[in-house]
Chains A and B, each alone.
Chain A
């Protein structure tokens, strides 16, 4: 407020403001905790958009191998012939990775800040009134989601831990369906898949509510809906994603 006070006294040329260090708007915003929460929320929304689209796309597996494999083909051919084969998909993947990196960087630096804000912990048990299990475990649910994402890429994208990756189906398309079935038929993989998605749901139960506060979206007319939105969003993601390993193990999806 020193600035406001001095601009009050000085002539109306606004020189007091100009003395401020110049920085790019976004860098300036990111330099503070509130700004980092903006980044966290915006990247969170992008990741939510991806997770939802990904889940809906995968529902194609209930329509059979050909449907899912054609869908995968469609993604590779996105914007073809404007973009060469697979290019649009790689751009999307790059964007998604950038979102994840920013989300993680903001999460990490705010966690460091928060640890420093209370170096000596309470020595007696806390009795939380409003904070939820979800809100208090964001770092853990997020980290397990990250471990899962890593495994998932090694499994179904790069095929490092999936022997079926590379196989073609009867129509000569990449056998994405077979890859999924091969992966989720392994019981430990299916269990990890279910646990990770439940934790992602817990992350979103808090996260999809928290975005509204972080972005300053507060309006008495829709405030009550924010909790319901987050609960519904998390539930839809968990139910959709968990159905896949269950369907594979139950033989509903399979060769």
Chain B
């Protein structure tokens, strides 16, 4: 049996476009099932707004199962809301109680300009990936499975970092607006695997330097780890820093030749 959550007051950020001034608007939700997801609650509110002839609240969403990284939102001051290890689409209304006030804001960072209302443009992450988040390999016929032997702990560690869905919660949660957790997760994923070794140092150098163009710097608050829907550990940031140092040494050797 599902229960109803009653009398919610939502304060939602409304903003027409990237350069216009936005503000909070207050909405009431009289009743919602505790089995509804947070985004379904917003859908429900939007349908009501549309039927009242008002404009719907724009927010990002796609898979609604925590795998695509499209959903976002700062909910009561936390990226992806009051839960650990889940994206906003995986947040359920049972986390809230009758009469709660819920404040919903877009992710804020210079690199994530607001498109409209709660939707932000996270394409600067693509710039980081384009600069090195891949391997260069001939893509002929499919190679045999297990052609390259990878020790289990190594593949496990690489897969832990590969879990990053590129949602940007780490940037949103970081008091410095740094993208270290995202970049480090992507670097660690490939730099831990044999396939990533040939470009290991070029990768970390380009990705760190691209990240520098748009984002803040890490002061090791650790807030990103707390917000990450995939619970990626700040350990990957230490790996990023180490590989970056090695990359700088290595390219000095290259230049001296």
Contacts and interface: CB of A to CB of B under 8 A. Distances in A.
Interface of A: 1-5, 7-8, 14, 17-18, 20, 22, 25, 28-29, 32-38, 110, 113-114, 116-132, 135-136, 138, 206, 209-210, 212-218, 223
A113 B212 CA distance: 9
Max chain B C-beta neighbours (<10 A), residue from A5, A20, A121, A216: A216
Interface in B135-194: 136, 173, 175-178
Nearest to A212: B238
26 contacts: A2-B131, A4-B202, A7-B202, A17-B254, A22-B255, A25-B248, A28-B252, A32-B244, A33-B218, A34-B218, A114-B175, A117-B110, A117-B177, A117-B215, A122-B108, A126-B77, A126-B175, A128-B175, A129-B226, A129-B227, A210-B219, A212-B238, A213-B241, A214-B218, A216-B238, A218-B242
Contact of A113 (B11, B173, B216): B216
7 A-B pairs with least C-beta separation = A216-B242, A117-B216, A218-B238, A129-B226, A117-B177, A127-B77, A33-B217
B119 interface: no
A218 B255 CA distance: 29
A124 B255 contact: no
Given A4-B199, A117-B111, A28 B226 contact: no
A22 to B, nearest CB: 6
Contact of B220 (A32, A119, A209): A209
Contacts of A120: 108
A133 B203 CA distance: 35
B226 to A, nearest CB: 3
A233 to B, nearest CB: 16
B109 interface: yes
Contact of B234 (A32, A117, A128, A213): A213
Contacts of B105: 122-124
B128 to A, nearest CB: 10
Contacts of A5: 136
Given A20-B251, A34-B217, A135-B220, 4 more contacts: A29-B245, A32-B209, A122-B108, A131-B221
Contacts of B203: 1, 4
Nearest to A215: B241
Interface string B53-85: 000000000000000000000101110001000
A136 B217 contact: no
Interface string B220-252: 111101110000001101111111110011011
B27 interface: no
Contact of A17 (B227, B235, B255): B255
Given A114-B177, A216-B241, A216-B245, A1 B199 contact: yes
A125 B142 CA distance: 51
A156 B159 CA distance: 57
B240 to A, nearest CB: 7
B245 A38 contact: yes
B178 A117 contact: yes
Contacts of B198: 4
Max chain A C-beta neighbours (<10 A), residue from B13, B108, B109, B214: B108
A36 B217 contact: yes
Nearest to A118: B177
A35 B251 CA distance: 15
A133 B190 CA distance: 35
A102 to B, nearest CB: 16
A117 B109 contact: yes
A215 B242 CA distance: 7
Contacts of A4: 132, 136, 198-199, 202-203, 206
Contacts of B136: 4-5, 8
B131 to A, nearest CB: 5
A126 B74 CA distance: 9
A83 B125 CA distance: 56
A212 B235 CA distance: 10
Nearest to B11: A124
B218 A136 contact: no
B24 interface: yes
A93 B188 CA distance: 41
Contacts of A132: 221
Contacts of A113: 216-217
B239 A130 contact: no
B254 A37 contact: no
Max chain A C-beta neighbours (<10 A), residue from B24, B131, B218: B218
Contacts of A18: 254-255
